[in-house]
């Protein structure tokens, strides 16, 4: 929906106080500040808060001494309304959201069942403890990277309300417990408890441990998100946000490493020493306590429970303090306004770009990779994972050169949701696209800008991987596969950008997808990646065939073939996407203007 629609909604008299005001505008962002391009984030945030649905309604009335219960009784329904209203905006999105929700719950149910079936087996304690640890890690990382993590309640919007930190944290925590994510976690934790709890003591501990672990997970997510919001809203902090990209890259590596250990001869037993340590780390300690109590080790169980409670207390305290800091410190952009103007200097590379639409669009895209914190964070993450996965595996001596395709794959993802990355500034592009030809040039230029970084990067990563593995013979085919994959990702990315655009909210470090569009984002990215994999099938099949046919077949031929195939697929994808883009400009603008 464009600004037009949003305005008319804003201007309506409030039908229901409080949360319901946010109808059709789930971020609660009427956007005078953000919409106008957020001159100063400080001004924008004060405007935002002033007009936020909460600010006008119920919470204010319960002031000045809102208790935790009354604050929670507002924030929990608010979150529900935000979710509901986000869905109400289009049936397609509702379907996508429900589909992803059902999928998540099916996985959770399967895991619950699996865990219950594991009951009584030898290493069940190890499995549950590690599962809880992984779950906690997921919660910690989710607000940073997962599109559509907890996107609804942004504490910076509540700045103007007369709420003390104590009730506010409680209420925010209660609101965080609402949603598919917490339900998923609950299924897992209940499953873990059911798998290990034996006897009255075990059951009693389980009753305490499960909510405790869930609270720890949710609080962890909140703490990380609060830290991250400060990171992303301050100019200087944006450079630090780069680090969070490495966190997930390393996290993936840990999971990968764990999975590989599992696959080895030792099986689950190999993990027992790891679990012996992890079961003392909250929230895995809470799950561990259930097992301990069931085994009769009551002292250990008590220790683990106490440790979990203490961890929760520390997290809550830290969270409260960072919330207070976040909501009282002046916004970094206030300071930025006083900064001296930068010097204009076009890097040599930029000057080499062609004239006309192609060069203009490429120049803008490349500048945004560097200057726009959201885009930058995405790129750094992709670059980091793209190099870490193949090289770490190679260093561990168990990698294959095909992991080098990760570089092309991760960077190829940047092609998805191209117009969402523009935010509502897409109107400037839309005003200059009047034919499929214009749209083609626009999309092609964006793909070229992406390739300008990705091609040399993935080549470099592939060469480095080949060097570490000392497998130079496979270099040409790995390069060919990488380029074919990149071409396929550019093709599907262009189509997905046009068919499934979604907003990337810029005013909050919390969110990567506007509320209610999470399903759309998943469809766009994962549907696109699946499509890309399918498109690569011929090249992959040829690779396999060449290897099967003879041990020393002419696999070098995959370099020219893969490259040509990638270029062809990309060209076809862009050609297919262009007329649709030209025909769907208003719809795309509507979809990307929600944040």
Q: Which residues bind other proteins (CB under 8 A)?
A: 1-12, 24, 31-32, 34-40, 333, 336-337, 339, 341-344, 355-361, 363-364, 367-368, 371-372, 422-425, 427-435, 437, 441, 506, 585-587, 589-590, 593
By beta-carbon proximity to other proteins, the closer residue of 318 and 368 is 368
Q: Provide, rounded to whole angstroms, the least separation between the CB of residue 332 and other proteins.
A: 12
Strand ranges for 431-490 from DSSP E? none
* Residues 217/136, Cβ–Cβ less than 8 Å: yes
- A 10 A CB-CB count for 182 gives 18
**What does the alpha-carbon distance between residue 257 and residue 396 come to, in Å, rounded to a whole number?**
9
By beta-carbon proximity to other proteins, the closer residue of 35 and 149 is 35
For 104, counting Cβ atoms within 10 Å of its Cβ (0-12 exposed, 13-18 middle, 19+ buried), the class is middle
**What does the alpha-carbon distance between residue 54 and residue 46 come to, in Å, rounded to a whole number?**
13
Q: Provide, rounded to whole angstroms, the least separation between the CB of residue 94 and other proteins.
A: 13
Q: Provide, rounded to whole angstroms, the least separation between the CB of residue 331 and other proteins.
A: 13
CA–CA distance from 321 to each of 160, 168, 227, 315, 317 (Å)?
17, 12, 11, 10, 6
Q: Provide, rounded to whole angstroms, the least separation between the CB of residue 6 and other proteins.
A: 7
By beta-carbon proximity to other proteins, the closer residue of 356 and 456 is 356
429 SS3 class:
helix
State CA 65 to chain mean position distance.
36
DSSP string, 324-364: HHHHHSPPHHHHHTTSPPPPP---HHHHHS-SHHHHHHHHH
- A 10 A CB-CB count for 351 gives 9
135 SS3 class:
helix
Q: Provide, rounded to whole angstroms, the least separation between the CB of residue 334 and other proteins.
A: 11
By beta-carbon proximity to other proteins, the closer residue of 140 and 498 is 498
Max Cα distance, the chain (Å): 79
* Residues 490/415, Cβ–Cβ less than 8 Å: yes
Question: What is the sign of the dihedral through the CA atoms of 348, 353, 354 and 360?
Answer: negative
By beta-carbon proximity to other proteins, the closer residue of 43 and 324 is 43
Q: Provide, rounded to whole angstroms, the least separation between the CB of residue 93 and other proteins.
A: 14
By beta-carbon proximity to other proteins, the closer residue of 35 and 531 is 35
Helical H segments across 396-435, by residue range: 405-412, 418-422, 426-430
Q: Provide, rounded to whole angstroms, the least separation between the CB of residue 29 and other proteins.
A: 10
**Tokens of residue 469, six digits:** 């593995």
Q: Provide, rounded to whole angstroms, the least separation between the CB of residue 51 and other proteins.
A: 12
User: Helix, strand, coil shares of the chain as percentages rounded to 5?
Assistant: 80, 0, 20
By beta-carbon proximity to other proteins, the closer residue of 230 and 367 is 367
CA–CA distance from 554 to each of 63, 408, 538 (Å)?
76, 23, 17
By beta-carbon proximity to other proteins, the closer residue of 480 and 595 is 595
By beta-carbon proximity to other proteins, the closer residue of 81 and 424 is 424
Measured in residues, the chain has a length of: 595
**What does the alpha-carbon distance between residue 95 and residue 91 come to, in Å, rounded to a whole number?**
6
By beta-carbon proximity to other proteins, the closer residue of 166 and 371 is 371
Q: Provide, rounded to whole angstroms, the least separation between the CB of residue 60 and other proteins.
A: 15
By beta-carbon proximity to other proteins, the closer residue of 333 and 458 is 333
**What does the alpha-carbon distance between residue 588 and residue 593 come to, in Å, rounded to a whole number?**
9
**What does the alpha-carbon distance between residue 518 and residue 503 come to, in Å, rounded to a whole number?**
10
Give the 3-state DSSP-derived string for 246-264, with helices as H, strands as E and coil as C: HHHHHHHHHHHHHHHHHHC
Q: Provide, rounded to whole angstroms, the least separation between the CB of residue 352 and other proteins.
A: 14
* Residues 345/52, Cβ–Cβ less than 8 Å: no
Q: Provide, rounded to whole angstroms, the least separation between the CB of residue 556 and other proteins.
A: 38
By beta-carbon proximity to other proteins, the closer residue of 232 and 284 is 232
Q: Provide, rounded to whole angstroms, the least separation between the CB of residue 17 and other proteins.
A: 16
**What does the alpha-carbon distance between residue 211 and residue 207 come to, in Å, rounded to a whole number?**
7
By beta-carbon proximity to other proteins, the closer residue of 79 and 594 is 594
**What does the alpha-carbon distance between residue 151 and residue 85 come to, in Å, rounded to a whole number?**
13
Q: Provide, rounded to whole angstroms, the least separation between the CB of residue 432 and other proteins.
A: 4
Phi/psi at 441 (5° precision): -60, -40
By beta-carbon proximity to other proteins, the closer residue of 260 and 334 is 334
CA-nearest of 122, 140, 151, 156 to 49 is: 156
Q: Provide, rounded to whole angstroms, the least separation between the CB of residue 498 and other proteins.
A: 15
Residues with Cβ within 8 Å of 36's Cβ and at least 6 positions away in sequence, in order, are none
């Amino acid at each position: 929906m464009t600004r037009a629609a949003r305005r008319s909604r804003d201007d309506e008299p409030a039908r229901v106080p409080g949360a319901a005001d946010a109808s059709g505008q789930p971020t609660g962002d009427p956007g005078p500040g953000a919409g106008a391009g957020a001159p100063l984030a400080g001004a924008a945030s004060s405007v935002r808060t002033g007009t936020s649905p909460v600010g006008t309604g119920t919470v204010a009335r319960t002031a000045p001494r809102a208790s935790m219960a009354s604050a929670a009784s507002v924030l929990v329904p608010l979150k529900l309304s935000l979710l509901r209203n986000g869905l109400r905006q289009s049936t397609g999105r509702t379907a996508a959201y429900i589909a992803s929700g059902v999928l998540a719950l099916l996985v959770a149910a399967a895991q619950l069942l699996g865990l219950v079936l594991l009951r009584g087996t030898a290493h069940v304690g190890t499995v549950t403890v590690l599962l809880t640890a992984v779950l906690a890690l997921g919660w910690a990382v989710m607000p940073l990277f997962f599109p559509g993590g907890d996107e609804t309640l942004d504490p910076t919007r509540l700045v103007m309300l007369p709420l003390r930190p104590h009730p506010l944290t409680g209420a925010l925590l209660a609101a965080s417990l609402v949603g598919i994510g917490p339900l998923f976690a609950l299924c897992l934790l209940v499953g873990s408890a059911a798998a290990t709890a034996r006897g009255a003591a075990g059951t009693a501990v389980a009753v305490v441990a499960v909510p405790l672990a869930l609270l720890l997970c949710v609080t962890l997510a909140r703490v990380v998100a609060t830290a991250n919001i400060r990171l992303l809203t301050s100019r200087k902090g944006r450079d630090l946000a780069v680090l969070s990209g490495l966190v997930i890259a390393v996290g993936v590596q840990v999971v990968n490493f764990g999975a590989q250990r599992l696959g080895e001869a030792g099986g689950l037993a190999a993990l027992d020493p790891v679990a012996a340590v992890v079961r003392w780390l909250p929230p895995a300690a809470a799950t561990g306590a259930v097992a301990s109590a069931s085994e009769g080790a009551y002292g250990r169980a008590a220790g683990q429970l106490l440790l979990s409670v203490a961890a929760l207390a520390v997290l809550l305290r830290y969270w409260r303090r960072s919330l207070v800091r976040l909501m009282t410190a002046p916004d970094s952009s206030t300071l930025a306004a006083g900064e001296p103007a930068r010097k204009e200097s076009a890097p040599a590379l930029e000057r080499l770009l062609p004239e006309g639409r192609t060069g203009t669009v490429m120049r803008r895209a490349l500048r945004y990779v560097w200057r726009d914190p959201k885009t930058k964070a995405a790129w750094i993450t992709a670059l980091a994972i793209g190099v870490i996965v193949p090289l770490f595996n190679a260093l561990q001596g168990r990698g294959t050169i095909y992991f080098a395709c990760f570089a092309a794959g991760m960077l190829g993802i940047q092609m998805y949701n191209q117009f969402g990355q523009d935010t509502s500034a897409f109107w400037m592009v839309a005003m200059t696209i009047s034919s499929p030809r214009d749209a083609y040039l626009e999309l092609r230029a964006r793909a070229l800008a992406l390739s300008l970084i990705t091609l040399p990067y993935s080549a470099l990563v592939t060469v480095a991987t080949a060097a570490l593995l000392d497998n130079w013979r496979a270099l040409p085919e790995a390069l060919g596969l990488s380029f074919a994959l990149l071409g396929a990702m550019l093709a599907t990315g262009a189509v997905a950008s046009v068919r499934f655009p979604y907003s990337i909210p810029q005013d909050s470090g919390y969110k990567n997808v506007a509320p209610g569009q999470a399903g759309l984002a998943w469809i766009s990215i994962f549907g696109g990646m699946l499509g890309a994999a399918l498109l690569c099938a011929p090249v992959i099949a040829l690779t396999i065939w060449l290897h099967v046919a003879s041990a020393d077949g002419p696999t070098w031929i995959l370099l020219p073939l893969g490259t040509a195939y990638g270029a062809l697929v990309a060209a076809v994808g862009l050609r297919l996407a262009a007329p649709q883009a030209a025909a769907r400009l208003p719809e795309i603008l509507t979809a990307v203007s929600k944040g």
